[in-house]
A and B are shown apart, each in its own frame.
Chain A
Amino acid sequence: MSPDQLAFFILSFMVIASGLMFLVSKNIVHAVLYFLVALLATAGIFLQLKAPFLAATQILVYAGAITVLILFVVMLTISKEPEVKVFGQTGIVGPAIAAVSFFAIMAAVVSRSTFTPLPAETAGIDQAQTVAQLGMELYVEYLLPFEIAAFLLLIALVAAVYIALGRGHDAT
């Protein structure tokens, strides 16, 4: 086993283990922090795949912003005891259907992919020098999808502001 593989197994174990702990943890703040560990370990896997930009984005957007937002909501909504029952609140049927169907979709996708190893030329890529290439791909090759995604986010942003303003501000 090469150090690369060893690091991959350690990181994958961290993702899966903290993901499980996220599910079974009864304390919601602990759950969020397990989620944070899973996100950081995913960033580690991105680093291993020679994608430092993606890793940094993962840390910035998910580990930083999203985790803080979740914690914020938790702090503002749960006033007394942070312990909540994750299971048994909505019954078992709905979540079970959701879980099984998601598993079926993922299984279908995974079984169809052929897992081709990375082409040989990627082995020569210098991990430190990928940003310019990524920029070219994103802003030249795939400009339209990029712009559509940006527009979608803008719509979400405007909608969020509208909802936050509430009914009293309809006139303005």
Chain B
Amino acid sequence: MIVEMSELLVSVGWAILIALILCIAVATVAGVALVYVERKVLADLQIRYGPMKVGFHGMLQTVADVVKLIGKEDTVPRDADKVLFWLAPIMVFIPAVLAFLVIPINSDLVLLDWDIGVYWIFAITTITPVGLIVAGWSSYNKYSILGGLRSAAQQISYEVPLLLSVLGVIMLSSSLNLSDIVGAQQATLIGPIHSWFIFLQPLGFILYLIAGLAELNRTPFDIPEAESELISGYSTEYSGMKFGFFMLSEYAAIVVIALLGALMFLGGWDGPFVNEVPLLAPVWLLLKTSALLYLIIWIRGTFPRVRIDQLMNLGWKVMLPLALANLMITGLVLVIAPRVF
């Protein structure tokens, strides 16, 4: 019996382990690559070169930075809650990694073909603010606590419009599964244009982008970090690879939001010649994701930070009513003219 059990455990365990390792690898590579891309794009926007020394055009700069972070002394504040201080980066990193579980690359390549797809991503990423609060609190530093609390307030406020903006897409495709959502966008709309949800749900897409930026604590909503007032907020006391984990999860989360946007609004892997050459599918997806990533970095290079009261007003008094209106209109159209879609 023990042998039988251990065999089963081993096979199930291997599957889980491989899936997790794949997720961590994807999140890490995507995060590290995005840091480099962001530095280059920001440099370009500010008419300078950015990293140039390490590798061709500085391509190995972030790899060198990771090595530096690993080698750095790992300091812990004397009055910190040692265990929680150690746990917080992991609590932030795990949700960002687990989100990759349900993201498909093409119509049949996905780690976990779950019906709840999108829902899983939004559910698992709600744990992130807990990690941020814990990071802030365990640091025993007033700036850190303020940063952690701000991030929690912000993420809770913007989860609502984020979910509502996506609901329109889910209603149109009548599925939570990301592969089905992409499949629903391959009908012909007008001429060569496919029914990508950005055309059917333009308001939903804009709301998704804004709420996504706020959810990611990105400029112009990077209030929780606010270098000039909070000295990086919740991560003030962190150094070395613990800080690296915060960075990594942040950038992995950006990739997740961009990937989701490409899958739900930009037709996913749908594109010219994709039916003739199936290998093009991941390429189209990557191109669309990169376009969204560029947009996100571009916004960082362009806009100043909003104030926290402006942020709350925008979230509750503008975005929420707009998202609800979008939802009602979608529902009405679906009831009156269900044949159109």
Within 8 Å of chain B (Cβ to Cβ): is A57?
yes
B119 x A3 contact (CB < 8 A): no
The CA of A64 and the CA of B159, in the complex, are separated in Å by: 11
Across the interface, name the chain A residue whose C-beta is closest to B1: A1
- Secondary structure at chain B's binding surface: helix, strand, loop or mixed? helix
The CA of A56 and the CA of B8, in the complex, are separated in Å by: 26
B133 x A68 contact (CB < 8 A): yes
B-contacting 9-mer, from A85-93, A100-108, A123-131, A145-153: A123-131
A57 x B123 contact (CB < 8 A): yes
Within 8 Å of chain A (Cβ to Cβ): is B182?
no
- Secondary structure at chain A's binding surface: helix, strand, loop or mixed? helix
The CA of A41 and the CA of B113, in the complex, are separated in Å by: 22
Residue from the list A2, A29, A60 in contact with B123, Cβ < 8 A: A60
Within 8 Å of chain B (Cβ to Cβ): is A44?
no
**Cβ-Cβ contact count across A and B, 8 Å cutoff:** 85
Residue from the list A1, A30, A36, A72 in contact with B152, Cβ < 8 A: A72
- Chain B residues with CB below 8 A from A6, complex form: 5, 9
A2 x B116 contact (CB < 8 A): no
The CA of A76 and the CA of B145, in the complex, are separated in Å by: 10
The CA of A68 and the CA of B133, in the complex, are separated in Å by: 8
A residues 34-89 in Cβ contact with B at 8 Å: 36, 52-53, 56-57, 59-60, 63-65, 67-69, 71-72, 75-76, 82
B120 x A72 contact (CB < 8 A): no
A3 x B9 contact (CB < 8 A): yes
Within 8 Å of chain A (Cβ to Cβ): is B84?
yes
The CA of A71 and the CA of B1, in the complex, are separated in Å by: 45
The CA of A98 and the CA of B322, in the complex, are separated in Å by: 45
B126 x A65 contact (CB < 8 A): yes
Knowing A2-B8, A128-B114, the reply to whether A75 touches B137 (Cβ < 8 A) is: yes
A3 x B5 contact (CB < 8 A): yes
The CA of A30 and the CA of B85, in the complex, are separated in Å by: 12
- Chain B residues with CB below 8 A from A64, complex form: 123, 126-127, 129-130
Q: Which of B113, B119, B123 has the most CB of A within 10 A?
A: B123
B130 x A71 contact (CB < 8 A): yes
Across the interface, name the chain B residue whose C-beta is closest to A56: B123
Contact with A along B49-74 (1 / 0, CB 8 A): 00000000000000000000000000
Q: B: which residues have CB within 8 A of A?
A: 1, 5, 8-9, 12, 81, 84, 113-116, 119-120, 122-124, 126-127, 129-130, 133-134, 137, 145, 148-149, 152-153, 155-156, 159, 176
A-B contact pairs, 16 of them (CB 8 A): A3-B12, A30-B84, A36-B130, A52-B114, A56-B120, A56-B123, A59-B123, A60-B123, A63-B127, A64-B129, A65-B126, A68-B152, A68-B156, A72-B149, A72-B153, A75-B145
